[in-house]
Amino acid sequence: MRGLLFIIFLFIFQSCNQSKELKKAVLKKKNEVVLLPDTSDSSVLENLTYEIKLVDSSGPSLGTISTKYLPEKGVLGFRGSLNRDMVSEGRLAKRPIEVKMDWEFSTAYDGKKTKFGVWGGGNGWTGQPLIINWDYKGIPATALASKPNAKKEVIISSLCGKIYFLNFENGEQVRPSLDTHNPIKGTAMFDPDYTGNLFVGQGINETGEFGFRVFDMFKGKLDAFVSSTDRDALRGWGAFDSSPIKVGNYYFWPGENGVLYKFRMLNGKYKLHSKLVYHSKKPSRSTLGIESSLSVYKNYGYFGDNQGNVVCVNLATLKPVWYFDNVDDSDATIVIEQEKGIPYLYIGCEVDKQGEVGFSYLRKLNALTGQEVWLNKIPAQSIVFKEKTFNGGMLSTPLLGKHQAKELLYVCISQPAKSSAGQLMAIDKRTGKVKFTTKLNAYSWSSPVGFYTKKGEPFVLIGDVVGNIYLIDGMSGEKIFAKNLGGNFEASPAVMDDQLIIGSRGNKIYKFKII
């Protein structure tokens, strides 16, 4: 009898162990890095000429493709996430009625005259503040040792060339400023692994040092300057108006010289892994330049360029996966959203290469194949004022609706049809049809942001180029609040709870509260 009980006990014990091992195996399989295919479809072969320059064959694999950008960490890059969509979760206690200024900060002012004009200070297009939440529980002890006297830290990369570090609560400086000595048009990126690396591009060459910089913001020093004077580049203009992104073991940064860079930072040193150099086979599409920020789904990256070329790239190898022709200058950053497990892209273009009048081609594409789901052609125009051309169409990044507005996409169109002003449009994500249009007093290149009540009621905030701030009901398009609160809101806001930080052309940075 005892022998029989022992055999039964042994059987149960072995079964439990096998069950545990099976669970471990299943868990391990779930945690495996499953990359999307490394293939190029016919659209690439027919439309692109490209070369992948491998510099560091000893570099590690791409590594984990899970996001390092979490809302709890703050807003660490342009639009805050791999999908470039972390701008729509501002929280409101009740239906808002007003936008109030909490504080303002004055940057330096660069009054040098260049062939592109005077750049001044503050924030311009394609800029956006960053916000680090120092209350995030997962911050390494090495980073916490460099925490400033602030629960949340705002980082401003300014048109005056300086980078400022401010207390979110009161706008006071919490670290000494850093200087690139050139106007910064784009948005910086703080390393989501809290290494202290701060990546800053530049928009205009005033000093001859044209490229991007990596600062150790904890030590307050420059670690790397990477010149855009690249012998492999097919264009000599070396601005970096895009905001880089980190995926796995690597950083990715597209430039206006037409090159996509893949690199690491090792012990404070820049180490290039590889770069993608490409151009369109169409003679009319030969001009290069990427001003949009790279959007990411798993190991695929997406960008549009100033000739309307839309490219999907495998970030593991930098091999182009598919190509799409979006007609005209596509500087607005692509936004990604999943529906029933399938990722989709939303992208629009300007009216630039089309001439004085044309269309903003707003599209929804399947992110895996590049197949078009729908197209909405929105009439717009470019305007010449004092010998300078101001392009119309979509220059700002779209906003994905959430909660009660989950079926809506918000886009801002500058100079629509025969107007010199702007309009916010709510688009049905399923069909591409317009649900409502709200007219603005002036055109806007600033990207809209979203706020929600506890019930999920949506409200959209956007600024325009003459300093108006609009708070709009996200379901009806009704203007709840509209008032001139600044100088020129070209830059996009960064959102935290019921508050936002936004810069203005000139020399002002503002914090506003929604009440």
What domains can you pick out in the chain, each with its CATH number? 38-514 (2.130.10.10)
CA–CA distance, 446 with 79 (Å, rounded to integer): 12
Does pLDDT of 139 surpass 50? yes
Mean pLDDT across the chain: 92
Mean pLDDT is lowest, of 2-16, 229-243, 310-324, for 2-16
Mean pLDDT is lowest, of 204-208, 224-228, 261-265, 503-507, for 204-208
Higher pLDDT, 448 or 284: 448
CA–CA distance, 399 with 264 (Å, rounded to integer): 31
Does pLDDT of 401 surpass 60? yes
Does pLDDT of 292 surpass 60? yes
Percentage helix, strand, coil, to 5, in the chain?
10, 45, 45
Does pLDDT of 93 surpass 60? yes
Confidence of residue 141 (pLDDT cuts 50, 70, 90): very high
Confidence of residue 284 (pLDDT cuts 50, 70, 90): low
pLDDT tens-digit readout, 60-89: 999 999 999 999 999 999 999 999 999 867
Higher pLDDT, 403 or 13: 403
pLDDT tens-digit readout, 458-506: 999 999 999 999 999 999 999 999 999 988 999 999 999 999 999 999 9
CA–CA distance, 293 with 76 (Å, rounded to integer): 13
Does pLDDT of 432 surpass 60? yes
Per-residue tokens: 193: 């692994």
CA–CA distance, 333 with 13 (Å, rounded to integer): 56
With pLDDT > 70 as the criterion, what percentage of the chain qualifies?
Answer: 93
Q: Which helix (H) or strand (E) is 179 found in, with range?
A: strand 173-179
Amino acid at 329: D
Amino acid 13: pLDDT: 42
Contact 426, 459 (CB under 8 A): no
Does pLDDT of 8 surpass 90? no
CA–CA distance, 170 with 172 (Å, rounded to integer): 6
Does pLDDT of 32 surpass 60? no
Confidence of residue 277 (pLDDT cuts 50, 70, 90): very high
